[in-house]
Amino acid sequence: MPKAHLHLHFTGSMRPATLLELADKYGVHLPDALKSAEPPKLRATDERGWFRFQRLYDMARSVLRSPEDIRRLVREAAEEDAADGSGWLEIQVDPTSYAPRLGGLIPTMEVILDAVHSASRETGIGMAVVVAANRMKHPLDARTLARLAVRFKDQGVVGFGLSNDERRGFARDFDRAFAIARHGGLLAAPHGGELSGPSSVRDCLDDLHATRIGHGVRAAEDPRLLRKLAERGVTCEVCPSSNVALGVYEKPEAVPLRTLFDAGVPMALGADDPLLFGSRLAAQYRLVRESHGFSDEELAELARQSVRASVAPQDVQEKLLSGVDEWLAAEPA
């Protein structure tokens, strides 16, 4: 089924085999959790669990050391998405994490965007970049990244995000950075409503004027907030496998997808970090069908919502939406 993918982190998109190969190439000793065929068991709802998650992510990121590594990661991410039916991918990256090895922020963005354009041509999938600031760093760093993102707006950057542990700091600390991004014509897509509750989503709306919310599932705990999201048409980039892996919910059935859907909140299913959570985009749709009983018509509507919430050009959106209708018509009742 054609769809768009709006919540995929850069390092987290890596294939496990690629991680092992690059680690061997550079002599990086990986912890057993990253060498196993099974995804690591992560419970990030407490400080120790989140620290372990971040440590594994940082270890994986350490094997990306050259422009060739970046190009490989982006190409393989595009190949995986194309195989899952995605016709548009917005990949999220904090360039400061790679800049020390790639010659600085501007050269890093040039390498990433060149890789995105090449992968798009090779795979036929439309691609764009969301530059994400790190909530754990100083808000001045976020302003620097916002200006950087605006600088590359016409070269493939379409949005500005805010990631990492939302329990740290306040969304309003980053309001200036998001104002820079919005005034520069970029989409605002901060994380909220995952490790923290509904107030985190509300802060993203009120303080950062979010157009999309990364995750947002905890909004289900506040009916008034659900109405607000629905009325404003703010899309939640929901990543159910990630929510379970990180311990936000105990099992797939507990993720409140049906609550958001029935409240009219637009959703775009995402894989978040397949490297660590073990499942990619199509698996999220299977989970929704199998664990929440979504019908073909409802799955098709989720795919449409992902496309409408994307920054894909109008002709790409129309092609994908038409493809969703064709998929639905071809499916047996």
CB neighbours (10 Å) of residue 313?
12
List Cα–Cα distances, 298 to 209, 262, 270, 320, in angstroms. Answer: 28, 10, 16, 16
For 289, counting Cβ atoms within 10 Å of its Cβ (0-12 exposed, 13-18 middle, 19+ buried), the class is middle
Phi-psi label, residue 27: left if phi above 0, alpha if psi -120 to 50, beta otherwise: left
What type of residue sits at position 77?
A: A
Our CA dihedral for 159, 165, 169, 173, rounded to 10 degrees, sits at 0
Max Cα distance, the chain (Å): 55
Neighbour-count burial for 180-204, b at 16+ CB within 10 Å, e otherwise: bbbeeebbbbbbbbbbbbbebbbbb
Our CA dihedral for 263, 265, 268, 270, rounded to 10 degrees, sits at -70
Neighbour-count burial for 251-274, b at 16+ CB within 10 Å, e otherwise: ebeebbbbebbebebbbbbbbbbb
Distance of CA 191 to the CA centre of its chain: 9
Whether the CB-CB separation of 59 and 34 falls below 8 Å is answered with yes
Alpha-carbon gap, residue 207 to 176, rounded angstroms: 10
Alpha-carbon gap, residue 23 to 59, rounded angstroms: 9
The catalytic residue among 80, 166, 194, 237 is 194
Number of C-alpha atoms within 13 angstroms, CB side, residue 275? 27
In the annotation, is 298 catalytic? no
The DSSP call for residue 272 is: B
Catalytic residues, by residue number, are 194
